[in-house]
Structures are given as structure tokens and as C-alpha cells.
Chain A
Amino acid sequence: MTRKKRRLVLLLVCGLGVGSAAALTLFAFSDNLVFFVTPSDLAKNNPGTRSVRLGGLVEQGTLVRSTAGDPTARFAVTDGTARVKVTYRGLLPDLFREGQGVVALGAMQPDGTFKASEVLAKHDENYMPKEVAEALKKSGQWNPASGAAPPPASTWNTPANNPTAKTGS
């Protein structure tokens, strides 16, 4: 075995070692690496009065805003199986709407609601022009407030969905 070959083998063995060590560490800590817990997680193990981040979709038809005095918002956060009622006093981010993913920092109250001190909006990975969003909503193919994902982007560019596509190309 030449010296180069020996160094290469040594490097590969070290890489394997470091890689598996990192994988095991990450696997062991995976519960602690999440940025937020879902409503189902909260239902399974109650954090008590400890402060947690709650993440999920703003359920359709549950948002009630009041602008008397400090702006307050009440809404339910759902992950499809469980739901948690959230109250928040303060300014909501611009992207906040029904059907949007949100992450709320706060704690559970004795009455079973979640009192948030901070609400962040979670943007999904879909980027679409305004015209496409309007066309999809109008044709009934997609309702953003329901929280469902829009149809795949490859179907957006049909003339029915994108009025500019015909003149653009």
C-alpha cells in the first residue's frame, strides 16, 4: 500500500467515524432540535406552565380580531389532528392569515388556551404571482384559507391560470 493510498483510506475511515458520530448525536437530540411543537405534541405531553413554541396552521374561520384598546387576536392553531386555541395581544406579522403556518411563543393557561407573547408567520415553499393566485382561487382549485397546499407549479402556467402567459410568450 502506497502512502497516498494509506492516507486516503485513513481519511475515509475518519470520515465514516465522524459522520456516524454526528448522525447518532443528531438522532439522539432530534426531539430538542425542533423549533416548535405541534398541537398533537401538546396534547400528548402537557408542558404545564413552561414556555413553548407552538406551530401549526391558523384554522379557517377561527380568527377574531379586536382593535378596541390593544389589538388582540384569537385563533385556533391546528395540525390536522389536534387544535389549540390561542390568544395574542400585539401586532401580528403581515403574512398572518387564516390557513397560514404560524409559530407562537407562549404558555398553556389553566383554562386550556395558549397565551402567546410572540407570533411569527411561517411562509411555505410556494412562490406564485398574484395573477396565478387569483386565478386558482377564482376557479376553485385552491383556497389559501383552508391551509391546503396549492396545486403543483407545473400546472400554473396554463392560460386559464395565468392570463399573462398567452401574451408573455
Chain B
Amino acid sequence: MAVTMDAPSQAAPSRQGRSLHRFANPGRFLRLSKAVFPWLMACGWLITLVGLAWGFFYAPADWQQGDTSRIMYIHVPSAWLASAGYFSLAIASAVGLVWRHPLADVAAAEISPVGAGFTALCLATGSLWGKPTWGAWWVWDARLTSVLVLFFLYLGHIALVRAFDNPERGARAGAILALVGVVNLPIIKFSVDWWNTLHQPASIGLTGSPSIAASMLWPLLISVIGYTLVFAALVVARMRAAVMERRIRGLLMARATTDAATDQDAFA
């Protein structure tokens, strides 16, 4: 009885060769992620700690802000990951919606809590940074407001995905919310260029040289790499837990039905 849930042949029907669905098999995902997860987590923490230690103790302080500017080694990576995490949520939602990829639904449901956490960290550190430099904990300028909207989008997704008795319907609704919310990403990125904001424009862009000293840029980029790996590790860990939870629920359901059937047999 217990074997039926684990049979890989069941989850991988005739169209096994399709590239996207090679990883749709939960069993294969669990095996792969089990090998990858400890490395992701260990490397992520190690690189983050190196970046933060470099930034806090060895990088120079800003000439105006002094040591206050060091909060950027926490704030900037969490802000980038808040946006990048939402982008990955949108990709997972599109894959789940269009190709009905079961693991994409799991990924979308598990990305949003992690993304919400990073966005909260970004908002909190930004507030702590704003008070000593700008003179205000919070202002309603376009950048800050759009990031707050991003936080609410994450919270809405977390709630919506889990609001249905049928998880598939929850995934559908959540995917639509996540995809509509993508509109917010360019607004966050370009808010500082399109409108007058209190928040300063980007110091690091894809085009043009950065307007930050190299001695501060390196620890910042290392922190970003570390944060990214930790984000990925947290999502993989949550996905593993979710897949295993579904399996256990399936096993319990199967047992309940067989038990009920045998009870009925005994009763008859």
C-alpha cells in the first residue's frame, strides 16, 4: 500500500523526454535537492558572513555618513533579493499556469514567504538608515511606497495560495496575483529615475561605471552573492518540506481509505 505513492513511473508518463517535465517528478526533486541543499546553505552563509564582516570591519566608511553607511551591506542585498525573489515567483507562476508544472506551483507557494522576509528586512533596515541620514524613519516617496506595495503583494500571495481547500485552485489564483504584481517591479527599479524621490538613484547599474568606491563595492557584491544563495537554500528547504508533507498526507489518505474499506468488509 505504502509503495504506491513513491512509484516514479506514476508521475512520469509517456512524455518523459520533455525538458521541463524532467524535474516535475517529486521523487527526483527530493533526491537532487537533498544533495544540493547543504552546499547551498553552507556556501550561502559563509559568503554572506565574509561579505558582512568585510563591509562592517574592513571597508571604509562613507565620508558624509560615517559608519551609518555600513547598513547598506544588509539593506542593499535584501532589497535586490526582494525584487529578484518576486521575479522568480512570477516565473514559477507563469510555468505553473501555462505548463501546469506541479513543482512550479510548490515553488511559487514557498518563494513568497521567503521573499516577504527579505522585503521586511529591506524595509526595516531602510527605516533605520533613513532616520540618521534623511531625518525621517519613513516618507511616502515613490521608491519606498512601491517597495511597501511589493511587501503587501508577497503577503497577499501567501494568504491567497493557502485560502482554498483545493490546493490547485489556490495555486491558480496565486499565480494570477503574482503575474499582475510584476507591473510593480519596473516601478520599483525606475521610480528613482522617473519621479522626484527622497531615495537616491542607483549607485550600481548594468550600464555605466558605479558611483561607489571599489573598496565598498566588493564586500557589497559578495554579500549579494551570499544572500542569493541563502534565499535559494531557504526556498529549496521549504519546497522539500512541502513535497514531503504532500506525500505524508497522501499516505495517510490512502491508509484511511483502505482502513475504511477493510472496516466495511469486516462489518459486512
Contacts from A to B (Cβ < 8 Å): 4, 7-8, 11, 14-15, 18-19, 22, 26, 30, 33-38, 55, 92-95, 103, 118-134, 152-154, 156-157, 164, 168
Nearest residue, chain B, Cβ from A131: B60
* Interchain CA distance A164-B187 in the complex, whole Å: 39
* Interchain CA distance A122-B187 in the complex, whole Å: 20
Contacts A4-B99, A33-B195, A152-B211 supplied; 17 other A-B pairs, CB < 8 Å: A33-B194, A35-B139, A35-B140, A35-B195, A35-B196, A36-B196, A55-B196, A92-B135, A95-B65, A122-B198, A125-B201, A126-B212, A127-B72, A127-B203, A130-B61, A153-B209, A157-B213
* Interchain CA distance A133-B63 in the complex, whole Å: 6
Whether B179 pairs with A15 at a CB distance below 8 angstroms is yes
Name the interface residues of B190-226: CB closer than 8 Å to any CB of A. Answer: 194-198, 200-203, 209-216
Nearest residue, chain B, Cβ from A27: B194
Whether B62 pairs with A120 at a CB distance below 8 angstroms is no
Q: Which residues of B contact A14 (CB under 8 A)?
A: 179
Whether A38 pairs with B196 at a CB distance below 8 angstroms is yes
Say yes or no for B79: interface residue by CB 8 A criterion. no
Name the interface residues of B84-134: CB closer than 8 Å to any CB of A. Answer: 94, 97-100, 132-134
Q: Which residues of B contact A8 (CB under 8 A)?
A: 98
Q: Which residues of B contact A125 (CB under 8 A)?
A: 200-203, 211-212
A4-B99, A30-B194, A126-B203 are known contacts. Are A35 and B141 too (CB-CB below 8 A)? yes
Contacting A33 at CB < 8 Å: which of B69, B97, B142, B203?
B142
Chain B contact patch, size range = 35 or more
Nearest residue, chain B, Cβ from A127: B212
A120-B134, A126-B211, A129-B213 are known contacts. Are A11 and B98 too (CB-CB below 8 A)? yes
Whether A152 pairs with B213 at a CB distance below 8 angstroms is no
Q: Which residues of A contact B140 (CB under 8 A)?
A: 35
Contacts from B to A (Cβ < 8 Å): 60-65, 69, 72, 94, 97-100, 132-136, 139-142, 179-180, 182-183, 187, 194-198, 200-203, 209-216
Whether B213 pairs with A156 at a CB distance below 8 angstroms is yes
Whether A129 pairs with B62 at a CB distance below 8 angstroms is yes
Whether A123 pairs with B134 at a CB distance below 8 angstroms is yes
* Interchain CA distance A157-B100 in the complex, whole Å: 52
Whether B203 pairs with A7 at a CB distance below 8 angstroms is no
Q: Which residues of B contact A93 (CB under 8 A)?
A: 132-135
* Interchain CA distance A7-B99 in the complex, whole Å: 8
Whether A132 pairs with B196 at a CB distance below 8 angstroms is no
A26 to chain B, nearest CB (A): 7
Q: Which residues of B contact A132 (CB under 8 A)?
A: 63, 213
B221 to chain A, nearest CB (A): 13
Nearest residue, chain A, Cβ from B200: A125
| A-B complex: 7 closest residue pairs judged by Cβ atoms | A129-B60, A93-B135, A133-B63, A35-B141, A34-B196, A127-B212, A22-B183
